[in-house]
Structure 1
């Protein structure tokens, strides 16, 4: 039982997967490059110079830990999880699950270090005996496994940001009227909507239809060139389609029958802010299982921060989301970790009588991780910073 427990506890070992709550994650993929790195490290260990300065000799995994936390504990570069996995490759066959209660042991041999699980072969300790009484236990493995990052930090942004082209939002169905001519709508209110381009809004599916509500597509401009990379639609809430859009007859001014549009009926089921006539509707996509394996990009990256999501200010702090000027066309993918560079100050050399202008070197200011990508824009979460992050700051490979 103890050996089985150790094996189960080791399954996630430090691979960095963030799963949607309640989802099963035993079969998340590992890239060939990550496997190769782990195998190489398994053969020779990690150089002591790559360990964190205060890396502990042992650590007991706790509830609430994340892969990022544990990686930072042992390594200087938390995104280098394949090395951490490789340090423990004999114990961790599937690096996608690690559980609270597992004890990780750091061993330093010469100028190399390896990591293993307490109770594994070579430990010399006898496995604990666990006695269980014959009763039914219900326990969700996904609730126990450690994620790469705390999901609450990022979940809200998985649905909200939307990049559209100049005409996409204008072609979407729209709210056209409210009950009792109300100006602002919120959760629980009823409203009426119509389709666009001659296509009526139809409730023609077996299951309920949900729509996200958006407003004001704001242009995102490249800080370097000024080119518009896309339009960021402002997420304001969600609505459920109750009845289809149809047509009916009404009595005209002279008493003759006339055809009239009967708009579709919708109910507001959630509201981030007040909703009004003219706001646009896009179908709610099926919920997809999203995984995030923090890793450095294989290609050279030179990017810039375009905007701070959900804010009119140009400064961003810890755990905020920013848009960057690189997308899938540039090779960006979910999980890419980038280093943030703070632009060096421009000052005069007061020690020189000629007072020449100097630009101080750009300094590393923290790390961010890409979690959602579009063609030319991506959204990224600021993982750690030493000073505020500004629109226009440069992003490069983390090492």
Structure 2
């Protein structure tokens, strides 16, 4: 029989061997080269950017994995706004040490005269089509419970009306920022919950209209005129100062820096049953989970539950990849994303993962 001392030495040797194997395995893993960029077959050597192009479209024209655009783009520090692409720019594909690079030749720098009331961001091609996204941002916000509880609200309407429309006078109560004469009227709508933990992630802020301050904002109750409505204004609707909600054209498509776990599409704009390309969805992951504007996520559908006739039990098939979406608005616990690719009809509760 093995003595206690021999057993102890054997245990130590066994643990040391396991540690050595783990270290060697980790070293081999770290030594593996990063996956090379795969240029799409038929990608042009040169391309002149046209008005109406989008950065996502150009990235998809050159790359099988367009979210790896930052690895392809060759920043030229000799030109103004090297991260932006403008109509008329000539893009040139080259190879540097076996890796593809896409450079830009700008016949002239995009400059602004004093009479021009636009910025380079206005002239650059956008990341994605902005018309629908911009309209959505003007109508929607994700509010936290604190946002709602701390916001001003409509306490009454003129002549004791229960509902009000454009041109009517209403009375607001709460905190009104100095030097802010206009307010958006919002109503707390759908509650966004995490499907796994049931945590409340936020509330849909439904756009009801706008109101103009008629007098001082110093009083306990202030007077406002309703200037725009999408539906009737009600008592307890919230009054929020306007926000600059214009999608920045400078962000680039990229994968998240960290793994996104247990991500789901938990709601869709319009409440449709089938989700397709350019539909806007709500994700149950936000800034606290590492999501940022421009992050691209793969959409997966849960595998079908089938009966195994051999084993005599039910088994779930692997999840199947079904599309791509891009984050364009991030709150602390949730975010908005637009579906950029749908290989089949998608639905609420489909999963989102790193691409």
Could you say which TM-score interval applies, normalised by the shorter chain? Answer: 0.7 to 0.9
Within 2, Cα distance between the matches of 1:289 and 1:394? 25
Q: Secondary structure at the match of 2:188?
A: strand
Unmatched segments (≥5 aa) in structure 2 = 1-34, 109-113
Cα separation, partners in 2 of 1:227 and 1:360, compared to 1, 3 Å: same
Q: How many angstroms does 1:74 deviate by?
A: 0.7
Task: Quote the residue 2:151 is aligned against.
Answer: 172
Describe the superposition over 1:253-304 as per-residue Cα deviations: whole angstroms up to 9, x where unpaired: xxxxxxxx9x522122332333223312122235678453221111111242
Say if 2:247 and 2:328, in contact at 8 Å, map to a contact too: no
Structure 2 equivalent of residue 272 of structure 1: 230
Report what 1:371 is aligned to: 328
Match of 1:213 among 170, 185, 197: 185
2:82 corresponds in structure 1 to 95
Q: Which residue, out of 392, 395, 398, partners 2:349?
A: 392
Question: 132, 144, 155: which is aligned to 2:134?
Answer: 155
Give me the CA root mean square deviation. 3.4
Structure 2 residue 256 is matched with structure 1 residue 297: yes
Is contact 1:306–1:323 with CA below 8 Å preserved after alignment?
Answer: yes
1:58 aligns with 2:20: no
Q: Specify the alignment match of 2:317 in structure 1.
A: 360
1:33 corresponds in structure 2 to none
1:353 to 1:115, Cα distance in 2 relative to 1, 3 A? closer
Per the alignment, in what secondary structure is the counterpart of residue 50 of structure 1?
A: coil
Q: 1:142 offset after TM fit, Å? A: 3.8
Say which structure is richer in helix: 2
Who is 2:307 aligned against?
Answer: 348
Name stretches of at least 5 consecutive residues in structure 1 with no aligned partner. 1-45, 120-126, 129-135, 248-260
CA distance 1:139–1:277, shift in 2 (3 Å):
closer
1:188-267 to 2 correspondences below 5 Å: 188-196=166-174, 205=178, 207-244=179-216, 263-267=221-225
- Alignment of 1:71 with 2:66, yes or no, is no
Report if the CA contact (8 A) 2:299-2:351 is conserved: yes
TM-score, normalised by the number of residues in structure 1 = 0.67
**When the two structures are aligned, how many residues end up with a matched partner?**
314
Residue 309 (structure 1) shift: 4.3
- Equivalent in the alignment of 2:26: none
